[in-house]
Amino acid sequence: MRVAGALRPRRRVAVAREEVQPLAGEPVEVETDDGARLHVEVDPADPAQVVPGAPTVVLCHGYGLSADAWHFQRLALRGRHRLVLPEHRGHGRSTRGPAGPVGLARLADDLGQVLDVVAPTGPLALVGHSLGGMTIMELAVRRPDLLERTRAVGLVATSSGGLAAFDHGLPLLGRHLVRWAEQALQRTAERADVLERGRRLGADVEQRLVSHWSFASPVSPEVERLAARMMAGTSVGTIADLLPAFGTLDETEALVALAGRAVLVIAAERDLMTPAAHGRTIADAVPGAEHVLVRQAGHLVMLEHPAVVTARLERLLARAAGDVEHGGHGGGDEVVLPVAARSRPRRVRP
């Protein structure tokens, strides 16, 4: 295992106020077989920058977020790669579809149908954060035709199972609170309008909670607001639809299917949603997978330490393209202490 600072991405990505404004691509709407309308952003590759044969890079966001979760990675990669950023049903600008519980199988089918429309041919690199990573793992089992075209897989702050036993940073209470939340959301689904009004009234409290469970070190106010805005934009109904899926998650079969591809697993040391040990489990189950543990990082590691995540994704894509000089040979363990985290104390939260 090696300990390193953040690799420098080929394009510097600074956290500045103007850079957290939404990025616009070519919007595509994909209607699924059950009637949900999924919003997809597509950033075309620049012929002058793209490497011939480079895969289409698919960036799948996490639970309660939107395509904006990949803001900094999108900013760095656009032009050099064709980027596809789908939004899960009920998230961002996608419609919820039929009401009721939504499992990983449904989300994987959604992703497969998106790729059938926007990337029907050619090599793929599938990158997912949290729920997005779980969706990609499920897709690997359900759509072997897409897996055959997949050259690289990036799994960021995600899990392949066992979340029902995790306390989410609340020893003794965490598991009980999750179950209570499931039951409460199910009982009040028909009064979602009341809950939504309550969320708006408690917006400041919600932002503080989002920050607590999303980041482990100081981030700019703009990044905090971006995270809170994405989560506030996800309806209570969508949260209720998906919450039960985490307790039954088991993607063991998918990890076997990923063998033989360039696989990157990024885990965040202080992740209160998908613990770092779950990233270790995934990497151990996929021969040749690269495992990166980011110190002083929370669940939204790609927003908290964007340079670290971007650099490792660039290295993964270089591996997928066979660029040994820039991509390395893959595999192994790395522990990263982000440069910015070395010189600042952890924020004391009120």
pTM equals: 0.85
Classify the C-alpha dihedral 13-278-317-28 as positive or negative: negative
Give the span between the Cα atoms of 329 and 320, in whole angstroms: 10
Structure confidence at residue 52 as a pLDDT band (50, 70, 90) = confident
Asked whether the predicted pLDDT for residue 191 surpasses 80, the reply is: no
**Distance of alpha carbon 323 from its chain centroid, rounded?**
25
Task: Give the three-state DSSP class for 150.
Answer: strand
| Long-range pairs for 228-234: beta carbons < 8 A, 24 or more residues apart | 228/203, 230/64, 230/65, 230/66, 230/68, 230/69, 230/92, 231/64, 231/65, 231/206, 232/199, 232/203, 232/206, 233/66, 233/92, 234/64, 234/65, 234/66, 234/90, 234/91
Given a contact cutoff of 8 angstroms between Cβ atoms, the answer to whether 76 and 317 are in contact is no
Average pLDDT over residues 93-106: 94
Given a contact cutoff of 8 angstroms between Cβ atoms, the answer to whether 15 and 305 are in contact is no
Asked whether the predicted pLDDT for residue 153 surpasses 90, the reply is: yes
Structure confidence at residue 17 as a pLDDT band (50, 70, 90) = very low
Q: What is the pLDDT of residues 123-147, one digit of tens each?
A: 999 999 999 999 999 999 999 999 9
Domains of the chain with bracketed CATH: 2-342 (3.40.50.1820)
Given a contact cutoff of 8 angstroms between Cβ atoms, the answer to whether 19 and 75 are in contact is yes
Q: What is the pLDDT of residues 248-260, one digit of tens each?
A: 999 999 999 999 9
Given a contact cutoff of 8 angstroms between Cβ atoms, the answer to whether 278 and 267 are in contact is yes
Burial of 86 (0-12, 13-18, 19+ CB in 10 A): buried
